Structure formats: C-alpha cells, structure tokens
Amino acid sequence: MSDFSIFEYGLGILQALLIIVLSPLIVGIMRKIKAKSQKRIGAGICQPYYDIIKLLRKDEIVSDQSSWIFRVTPWINFVTTASAAFFIPVFLIYSPFGVVGDVLLVVGLFALGKFFMMLAGLDVASSFGGLGSIREMMMSVLVEPALFMTIFVIALFYDGTNISTIVSSANDTSILIVPGILFALIAFFIIMMAETGKLPFDNPSTHLELTMIHESVVLEYSGKNLALMEWSHAIKQMILFALFVDIFFPWNFVEQISLVGISIGILVFITKVSVLASFTAFIETLVAKWRLFRVSDLIAMAISSSMIGVIFFFL
Amino acid sequence: MAFVGFGTKAGMVPLHIWKPKVYASAPDNTSSLMAAVMLKIAIYGIVRHLFDFNAIDSSPDYVWLGMGIIIIGSISALVGILYALVENDIKRALAFSSIENVGIIFIGLGLSVVFAAFHLPSLSVLSFIASMFHTLNHSIFKGLLFMTAGSVHYSTHTKNIEDLGGLIKKMPWTAMMFLIGSVAIIGLPSLNGFISEWLTLQSLLAVFQIPSNVLQVSLAFAILAFALTIGLAGATFVRLFGVTFLSKSRSVNAANAIEVPKFMLIGKAILASSCIILGILPFIGMNLIVSAFNLPYMPSSPFETISITNSDDSNFASLMMPGVLVILTSVFVGVFVFVRIIGGKTKTMKYGTWDCGFGNLSEKTQYTATSLAEPIRRIFGVFYKPHNDIDADFYTKKNLYLKKSINVISTTRNIFDEKLYGKTISGSLFVLNKIRKIQSGKVNAYILYIMVTLVALLLFVGFGTHE
Amino acid sequence: MSDLILPTQIDLLHVSAVILLIATFGIVVRRGFSDWLHAYRYQTIILAGVVTLIAFVTSIWELYIVSALTLGIKAIIIPKVLFYVTKKLDSPIKLEMNPYVSLRISVIASALLVAMSYFMALQLPISSDKTISVFLPVSFSLFFIGLFIIISRRKALNQIVGLLTIENGLFLFAVVVTHGFSLIIEIGLMADILVGVIISSILLFRMSHTFDSVDIKNLESLRDD
C-alpha cells in the first residue's frame, strides 16, 4: 500500500468535512424541489442550516423515564455517521483513509447508530417510540440482505470492498461495458430510498402514527440532541448519495492536485449529487407511501435485482 | 456420522431442540459455562475430524461435504435467530442465539473445506481463521450475556422479559455489560463480533475464485441467508435489551430490583473488556488461533491492518480497527467542541414523556416484547405459524366497538418440534393425501406439473450431455 | 480526466439484454390490470428494439420487418384490445388481490428462474452465433417467468399477459437460434396471436358475465366430480 503524505491526509479530512458541511444543503435543495413540484413556494435552500443552529442554542427537555442511553444516542449516532464520511471519495479518486476501513465498515457504522436509535425509541416508555423502533427494526432486517447482496455484486465487478479500489476500477470502465452493474444500480437505489427514509418507505414530512417511522423515534428529542439527530440523518443521506455517484457515475475526478482542479472537482461533485437529489425528490413527489407490509415487496425487488447481477457476473 | 454426533452436540438444525430447554433450566452459572465451553468442544471435535483424520484433497466428495456444512450452517443460523426473536424467556432466547452463532461458525468451516478442496490454501486459512475467531468471540460474549441474564434472574426472580423493564436505572452496571455483549454479538464495529463477521463475509466474497459456476452462484446466494441472520440478530438484541432494561418496569419484582454484588460484576467486567480489546486489536486473538492450530501463516503485531489484496496488488479490502477508533474519537472531540462553541451552554429540563395530551402514561401503554416481534412474526409467518386468539367482552351486543375488556392470546409454534418430530409417523399418510390432491381441477396446477416436468427434463438433458 | 470508453457491439447486446430482463420483471411486480398491460407494452417495445439490434448486427434485412411487425401488432394493437377489455369488465376492483404466491416471493422466485435459465443455456448443446447467444438465456427466462406468472396469479387477464410473455420468449428464441423464420411464417404467427388474444378476451367477457369475476378459481367448478 502506498503511504500518503500529511498533505493528502489533509485533503482526506477536507473531503469528509465537505460531506458533513454540505449535507444540510442537499436536504434544503430536496425540500425546495419537492415544494416546487407540488406548486408550493417552499423554504430557502439554506433553511436546514438555520434550523440546526437554532436548535443547538435551545434548552432541551428530557423525558423523566429515560436513561443515559437516550442522552448518549444522538452523540453516538452523529459520531458514527460522521466517521463514515471519512471513507468516501469526493473530488479525489481515493480517500486516504481507505486503508482503515471498507464499505462493510461504513455499513457497520450506520448499523451501530441505528441500533442505539432504536434503543432510544424504546427508552422513553411512550408507544410512539416503540412504534418507530419496531418499524425501523423491520426495515433494517429486510434491507440487510439486499444491501449485502448489492455490495457483493459491486465487489465482484470492481474487485474489492475497499471504496477507493471500487471507485478507481469504476472509473476505468463504464456502465455500458459492465451491464451487470445496472442491476446493482437499481438495487442500490431502492436501498438508498429505504435507508434514508424516502417516500415509498417512510414519509418524513408528517407526524402521523400511521405513516411515520424515523420521525417517531426522534419524537422525544429537543434542542441540541434533536439538532444532532437531524444533522446525522442528513449526513447519512449525503454519504449514500456520494457513494451512489462515486460507484455508478465516476467521472471527473481531480488528477492533478491544484487549487483550481480541486474547486472544479468540488463543483462537479456538488452538481452530480444535486442532480441525484432532485431526481429522488421528483420520485418522492410521484409515489405515495406504501403500506408497511408491502414495503417488503419493493425490497424483494432489490434483492432479486442484485441476485441477477451476480448471475450476470458468473455465467 | 461423526458430523451428526458432534453436530447434535453443537446444536445444529434440525438436531437442536434439546438446547433451549436445557439452557433455560440449568442454573445461571452453569449455562454460561455450557455456552462458552461445551459448545466449543463439539466444534473442536468437528474441526479435528475434518482436518486431521482425513487430509483434504481435491476430490468432489470434499466439495460436497463443505457445501453440506455451509447449507446446514446457514439454516441453523437463520432458524436459530428467528426463534430467538420471538422468545420471551431471556435465557431461552440466548440459547437460540447460540444456535445462530454455531451456524455462522459452520459457514466459515464449510467455506474452509471447499476452498481447501479446490487448492486455494490462503482462502482456506482465511475462512478457517474467521470461523475459529468467531468461536473464540462467541465464547466470550455469550458467556457475558448468560452471566448478565443470570444476574437479572438473581435480582428479579423472573426470566420472562414481559415482566422486566426499567432495569437500567436499578442495575446500571449489569445493563452496561449486557449492552456491550449485545453490540458484540450482533457484529457492530469496534467490538470483537464485527471482526469475525467481517472475516466471514470476506471469505464469502472470495468465492469468485472457485473454478465452478454452479458453486459460485449457490455460495453467492448463501450471503443472503448470512445477511438476513445479521439483520435479525440486530432486531433480537434490540428487543431483548430494550424490553429488559429500558422504559418502565412492568412488574413489582422488576421495580424493586437492586444491583448485584460487586464480585458478580468483576467476572463480567473481565469478559466485557476482552470483548473491547479483541475488537480493537483483533490480531491478539488471531495470533492465538494461528499458533494453536499451527497454520501456515505468519503471526503479526497487534496494530497491523487486516488486508486482502487482489492478484494485481490492488487493495481488495482492509480493516484497521485502531485507525477506526482514532477517527471516532477525533470526530467526537471535534463535534463536542463545535456544539459547545455554536450552541453555548444550555439547560436541560426533566419532564414527562409526551402523552398526546391524554395524561397517565403507564407501563401498560408501552410496547411489549410480543408486540415488538409482531412485524417480523408476520413476515416470516412460515416458521412460526402465528395464531391470535381474540376474546372480546362487549358492553352491549349492539355496538361492537365499545369493548369492556379484550383478551388476546397470541401464540407461536416451533415448527421443528411439531412438524419434524411430531409428524414423522403421520407423515406417510400426509404424503398419500398430497398425491390424491394432484387432480385438483385448477388450471394453474396442471400447468405447474407441466412446467416442473419440463424443467426436470431440461436439466436432465443438460447434465446428461455434459458428462 | 479519463475518457469515456465507447461500448462495442457485444456490450450493446449485453446492455439490451439487461434492459429486457428488467422490463420483464416489471410485469411480475405489478398488481393492477392496466399496470400489467403497460409493463407488457414496454417489454414488447424493448423486444422490438432488441430484434432491430440483432438485425443490425447480423445484417439480415427480414428481421427489420419482423421488428416493425412486433411493434405494430404486439405493442400497439394487442394492448389496445386488452385495455378495451379491462375497461368494459364489470368487476370494480381491478387489482390482483391475493395471488397464490405473494409478490415478494414471486419476485425472488423469478430471479431464481433467471439463474436457472442461464445455467441451462450453458448446458444445452445449442450452438449459435456468439453475439446472439447472449439472448438465449434471456429468452429462456422470459419463457419461464411467463409460465410462473400463469401459475401464481388468480386473475384471468394476468394469465393472458403471462401467455404473451411466453410467446415473447419463444419469439426471441426463434430469432436467436434460427435468425428468424421466413417472413410468411412470422406474419402467420402474429396473426395467430392476435386471434388468440381476441378469443381469450371474448372468453374473459363470458367469464365475468357468468361468474361476476375473472378469478380463475371459478373454473374449478368445471371439474367432473
């Protein structure tokens, strides 16, 4: 393995910070596009930033039934999600921290955050929290096989689970030459919608017992803790988007490191992610929330799609 | 034959039914010892049998033996965890989860045999280490979990998690230990379970090096069972921990529980800290395994990176847990400082949980253990045959919406107890009945027969011409 | 900045095979009557595209005509007829309510069928053009998924769609293995399907009149007990 200089590690940290800092912006863009496509005006795209700053300054109320699990969860959630951002290439073709962990570690970090989130939902002794927790539990159980199968397909086609290796071999080929990866794309897209709580799975904009999943888990949070929860959700979404564009649309990475090159790289990255975000926002406008027990049909589709991907690789 | 004998001892499906019963009725300290040691003897027996008594060569027999072990392992893992998920007795649930872990160990072992039969020694060693490391880890965290479950039993006198709850405030240290054990057993990063499951997954990913298409595809599908197992394990331990330790107490016993004496905590603390140490520095455990089994593999320093490379020397996958720890801590410090600077100092108030304005949230309004398992019980209904007896008592017969009381008895059945062992005698009759049903008159059914025959014939022709 | 590598002919064939498979899955995952017909139409349009591609690769001019015929009859006329039938049906619920095999299991079963088709295509001693043998397993998959649709669903309309999928698979198989029958036979086949669809639509009407539903379970009463 080649060793990286301090400068390159600095660039790696810059990449992670970009993901962390830009994530609320993507949320804002998606909300704006959703509002526009539903003929509403909608808040400005910087609104999530104002929300987070406002929440960070507020006093908080904690349920008297809760234990330290409840108070620790937002921190664990944020730290695991933000750490996962260190492994994602943004404008470079690699991440200097790629040696430390691979895509399975990223999945594991997400799962750790989710585990504590489900516990926090149970901790407050209200039925809302429990309701959110079991739904979240069911979804994550079902998504898991699809996720690992998709990782398997990607690892087969692009030799490795190391994200830097995946992205660089993806950069050498194109989607038209490796058609099996198309199946992985479909599966990954469905998983992405499920993991970030998008519309056929979960309606993030309502507080209605029938529909909410993620919202009911964070229902009891306020102040700083709520800000951290919301922000880590945004970061998770950003990481999944970034992985999606890195794996399936790996064009325009910076090769010579210069100030101009890097700023162009960042701009290209933001454009790619915003296009993807707008696309998902449109899909969200088009579909309705599915009944909870029908969601498994959609995930079954992701599973079978990645299964065919495997077949395409081998036969 | 040896495999069946040791397999029964290790508790593989379908020879597993003795295990939950024995574990649940054994004394608390014995069951943790049983999980930690006795199980491993069985696995040790299988390992010795496989690798010592008969040297593995590349005959197809060994390929099929390995495949058989993998299939049994996957089924054990899946079935074990599915029953653990709906179990209300905490020790029985842990015993079912042992069956799951034995399944994961078997997957690694079977892969090792398959790789060895195809002359892929490095991969064989990789999956062997994965499986043995999981064995080591399992004895640590399962011992820890059984000990904490024993402590809960000791201070509340009940093993039924429906009667527990809120113990985290009464027994904070025990809760902490149980949490560490759960995080380790479901394979979340920074504890030891993650490493062994990561290694098993990597050896599953390496199946593309096997020179046989059929095996490649079928092993690739084994990853589905493995992933589903991991997901279900997560759900199981969220449920066990959440219902036992969090929210409000559901009975008087649980409300009056006190923390166990210190000397009971010390043993658990040792196991918990070894979970953490093996999670951060996995090479300590791996070096032990390498030296114990005399593997052709160089022991390395504890701080090294686990790394798998492609043939062209690019990085297939690598994992460096100390590095992960460094990133986690630095992110935590960074966020803490950031929040402090932006947010300043804020107050925290304690207040009741939001009750929708109705008031009086009691322990009866929170989710119970059974209701937590409901969605999964429904989706995997094949395994449980869930059955609800609803007995409602009405104020008046006219309005069925005003109920005085409602009593729901919801049961799940263990299909292996009933179907496999109870029905072997009546099985033949059943089969005869099925044969009679062939002439059903359904158009679909007739076409199904045609399709099955066609597929069978085509496969027959395919194999026939191939050989 | 790396150049975009241009795909070759064989890559194009692979990609089109993938898209055809995805379109076939569109039929399996849908529930509504008109959704199936839409999905069937997309699938047939893609099939016509595939045939055009094969014609381009092998440069057999008859295949262009066959592709145009497919587009005309199977993608436009047959869905039109069936849409008309759906509209005229009495039953108010135009959804597959509870199929014999639940949707999620049938999706995964179809994936397994695709796996099996690929496996069988490797085994069967049908020698064919290298570029076109890409589609042999795809045609098998279409055939088996069509059969599976017929088996697993209750509503008669879906049985017709399943039958048409099987037909698409056979058609693709014929094109792949023999590079198309002679034009006359092809036209005859198309006419045959058209007549078949019309007859089955009439049957559908009769069924919904007699039984007040299009559930094929009712046909069980025709058994001679």
Nearest CA in chain C to B213: C119
Give the closest residue to B216 by CA, choosing from B118, B119, B100.
B118
Alpha helices in chain A (DSSP H): 6-37, 47-56, 68-84, 103-123, 127-157, 163-172, 180-195, 214-217, 223-248, 259-286, 295-314
Q: B436 versus A100: which is more confidently predicted?
A: A100
Read off the pLDDT band of C3 (50, 70, 90): very low
pLDDT the model gives residue A283? 86
- For CA atoms B336, B337, B340, B341, the dihedral sign is negative
Q: B172 versus A288: which is more confidently predicted?
A: B172
Best-predicted range by mean pLDDT (A69-83, B49-63, B409-423, C52-66): A69-83
A-chain CB neighbours of C29 within 8 Å are: 297, 301
Q: Does the pLDDT of residue B71 top 90, yes or no?
A: no
Nearest CA in chain C to B380: C105
Give the closest residue to B68 by CA, choosing from B109, B29, B128, B20.
B109
Asked if B133 and B282 count as a contact pair (C-beta separation under 8 A), the reply is yes
Interchain proximity A252–C112, CB inside 8 Å: no
pLDDT the model gives residue A240? 92
Query: What is the arithmetic mean of pLDDT over B28-38?
Result: 65
Between C115, C120, C222, which is nearest B459 by CB?
Answer: C120
Read off the pLDDT band of A24 (50, 70, 90): very high
CA A108 to CA B201: how far, in whole Å? 12
Q: B436 versus C30: which is more confidently predicted?
A: C30
Nearest CA in chain C to B214: C119
Q: How many CB atoms lie within 10 A of CB B200?
A: 26
CA B195 to CA B275: how far, in whole Å? 11
Dmax (CA) for chain A in angstroms is 60
Cα separations (Å) of B310 from A126, A310, B216?
A: 51, 19, 18
pLDDT the model gives residue A258? 78
Cis peptide before B211 (omega within 30 of 0): no
Condensed to tens digits (0 to 9), the pLDDT of residues B182-228 reads 999 988 888 888 888 888 888 888 887 777 777 777 887 788 888 88
Cα separations (Å) of B190 from A115, B266, B459?
A: 14, 22, 47
What is the rounded radius of gyration, in angstroms, for the C-alpha atoms of chain B? 26
Query: What is the nearest CA distance from B416 to chain A, expressed in angstroms?
Result: 23
Interchain proximity A174–C5, CB inside 8 Å: yes
B-chain CB neighbours of C115 within 8 Å are: 217
Residues 6 or more apart from C93 whose CB is under 8 A from it? none
- What is the DSSP code string of A11-41? HHHHHHHHHHHHHHHHHHHHHHHHHHHTT--
Two tokens, residue A246: 């890195």
- pLDDT above 90 covers what percent of chain C? 0
- pLDDT above 90 covers what percent of chain B? 1
Q: Does the pLDDT of residue A278 top 70, yes or no?
A: yes
Two tokens, residue B163: 């009667």
Interchain proximity B458–C115, CB inside 8 Å: no
Between C4, C5, C115, which is nearest A307 by CB?
Answer: C115
Two tokens, residue C145: 């998924």
Task: Tell me the CB-side half-sphere exposure of residue C115, using CA atoms within 13 A.
Answer: 23
Asked if B231 and B83 count as a contact pair (C-beta separation under 8 A), the reply is no
Interchain proximity C123–B442, CB inside 8 Å: no
Q: How far is CA C165 from the centre of its chain?
A: 2
Between B442, B462, B463, which is nearest C220 by CB?
Answer: B442
Give the closest residue to C73 by CA, choosing from C114, C41, C106.
C41
Between A171, A303, A315, which is nearest C118 by CB?
Answer: A315
Instruction: Say if C174 is an interface residue toward chain B (CB within 8 Å).
Output: no
Read off the pLDDT band of B9 (50, 70, 90): low
Does residue A168 form part of some domain?
yes
Write out the residues of chain C at the interface with chain A, using a CB-CB cutoff of 8 A.
1-2, 4-5, 7, 11-12, 14-15, 17-19, 21-22, 25, 29, 102-105, 107-108, 110-112, 114-115, 118-119, 121-122, 137
Instruction: Say if C130 is an interface residue toward chain B (CB within 8 Å).
Output: no
| Structural domains counted in chain A | 1
Cα separations (Å) of A10 from A7, A13, A15, C156?
A: 5, 5, 9, 64
Say how many CB pairs under 8 Å bridge A and B: 272
Instruction: Report the DSSP pairing between strands B306-309 and B387-394.
Output: unpaired
Give the closest residue to C151 by CA, choosing from B221, B379, B454, B380.
B454
Q: A292 versus B335: which is more confidently predicted?
A: B335
B-chain CB neighbours of A147 within 8 Å are: 227
Strand intervals (E) in B233-370: 306-309, 315-319, 348-351
Residue with tokens 């390395």: B300
Between C125, C148, C219, which is nearest B465 by CB?
Answer: C125
Query: What is the arithmetic mean of pLDDT over C23-31?
Result: 78
Interchain proximity C5–A308, CB inside 8 Å: no
Q: Does the pLDDT of residue C216 top 90, yes or no?
A: no
Read off the pLDDT band of A79 (50, 70, 90): very high
Interchain proximity A98–B315, CB inside 8 Å: yes
pLDDT mean across residues, chain B: 75
Read off the pLDDT band of C2 (50, 70, 90): very low
Read off the pLDDT band of A81 (50, 70, 90): very high
Query: What is the arithmetic mean of pLDDT over C52-63?
Result: 79
Nearest CA in chain C to B449: C151
A-chain CB neighbours of C15 within 8 Å are: 176, 179, 182
Condensed to tens digits (0 to 9), the pLDDT of residues B157-174 reads 887 887 787 788 888 888
Q: Does the pLDDT of residue C4 top 50, yes or no?
A: no
Between C147, C219, C222, which is nearest B451 by CB?
Answer: C147
Query: What is the nearest CA distance from C221 to chain A, expressed in angstroms?
Result: 32
> Which three-class secondary structure state does DSSP give residue B273?
helix
Interchain proximity B351–A62, CB inside 8 Å: yes
Asked if B341 and B347 count as a contact pair (C-beta separation under 8 A), the reply is no
When scoring A2, A83, A213 by the number of chain B Cβ atoms within 10 A, the one with the most, hence best to mutate, is: A83
Interchain proximity B320–A100, CB inside 8 Å: yes
Tell me how many degrees the CA angle A83-A84-A90 measures, rounded to the nearest 5: 110
Cis peptide before B189 (omega within 30 of 0): no
Give the closest residue to B137 by CA, choosing from B308, B294, B303, B279.
B279
pLDDT the model gives residue B90? 84
Q: Which chains touch B (3 or more CB pairs under 8 A)?
A: A, C
Nearest CA in chain C to A315: C118
Instruction: Report the DSSP pairing between strands A60-63 and B348-351.
Output: parallel
Interchain proximity C119–B213, CB inside 8 Å: yes
A-chain CB neighbours of B314 within 8 Å are: 159-160, 165, 168-169
Query: What is the arithmetic mean of pLDDT over B352-374?
Result: 68
Q: A107 versus B412: which is more confidently predicted?
A: A107
Q: Does the pLDDT of residue C189 top 70, yes or no?
A: yes
Residue with tokens 């149970």: A122
| Domain range enclosing A19 | 6-314
Query: What is the nearest CA distance from B204 to chain C, expressed in angstroms?
Result: 19
Instruction: Say if B328 is an interface residue toward chain C (CB within 8 Å).
Output: no
Asked if C147 and C62 count as a contact pair (C-beta separation under 8 A), the reply is no
Return the C-alpha torsion angle A110, A116, A122, A123, nearest 10. Answer: -150
Condensed to tens digits (0 to 9), the pLDDT of residues B246-294 reads 877 777 777 777 777 887 788 888 888 888 888 888 777 777 777 776 6
Q: How far is CA C91 from the centre of its chain?
A: 25
Asked if B379 and B355 count as a contact pair (C-beta separation under 8 A), the reply is no
User: With a CB-CB cutoff of 8 Å, which residues 421-450 of chain B face chain C?
Assistant: 440-444, 447-448
pLDDT mean across residues, chain A: 83
Interchain proximity C25–A299, CB inside 8 Å: no
Query: What is the nearest CA distance from C34 to chain B, expressed in angstroms?
Result: 22
Interchain proximity C223–B455, CB inside 8 Å: no
Two tokens, residue B455: 């597929």
Global ipTM:
0.88
Instruction: Say if A60 is an interface residue toward chain C (CB within 8 Å).
Output: no
- pLDDT above 70 covers what percent of chain B? 66
Say how many CB pairs under 8 Å bridge A and C: 76
User: With a CB-CB cutoff of 8 Å, which residues 183-202 of chain A face chain C?
Assistant: 183, 186
Instruction: Say if A14 is an interface residue toward chain B (CB within 8 Å).
Output: no
Residues 6 or more apart from A11 whose CB is under 8 A from it? A92, A96, A257, A262
Instruction: Say if A189 is an interface residue toward chain B (CB within 8 Å).
Output: no
Say how many CB pairs under 8 Å bridge B and C: 48
**What is the domain partition of chain C in residue ranges?**
9-218
pLDDT mean across residues, chain C: 76
B409's torsion region: left (phi>0), alpha (psi -120 to 50) or beta? beta
Cα separations (Å) of A103 from A162, B9, B93, B281, B413?
A: 6, 36, 31, 20, 38
Condensed to tens digits (0 to 9), the pLDDT of residues A126-184 reads 777 778 888 888 888 888 888 888 888 888 888 777 888 888 888 777 665 677 788 88
Nearest CA in chain A to B238: A119
pLDDT the model gives residue C5? 46
Instruction: Say if A138 is an interface residue toward chain C (CB within 8 Å).
Output: no
Query: What is the nearest CA distance from B144 to chain C, expressed in angstroms?
Result: 38
Query: What is the nearest CA distance from A188 to chain B, expressed in angstroms?
Result: 15
Query: What is the arithmetic mean of pLDDT over A2-27?
Result: 83
Query: What is the nearest CA distance from B65 to chain C, expressed in angstroms?
Result: 22
Q: Does the pLDDT of residue C1 top 50, yes or no?
A: no
What are the residues facing B160 on neighbouring strands? B89
CA C16 to CA C135: how far, in whole Å? 9
Please name the helix (run of DSSP H) or strand (run of DSSP E) that holds residue B150, with its range, or none. helix B121-156
Residue with tokens 């985290």: B168
Q: B364 versus A16: which is more confidently predicted?
A: A16
Q: Does the pLDDT of residue B464 top 60, yes or no?
A: no
Query: What is the arithmetic mean of pLDDT over B333-349?
Result: 81
Please name the helix (run of DSSP H) or strand (run of DSSP E) that holds residue B23, with its range, or none. helix B18-25
Q: A236 versus B19: which is more confidently predicted?
A: A236
Between C5, C107, C137, which is nearest A173 by CB?
Answer: C5
Residue with tokens 């709580």: A197
Give the closest residue to B50 by CA, choosing from B76, B35, B70, B32.
B70
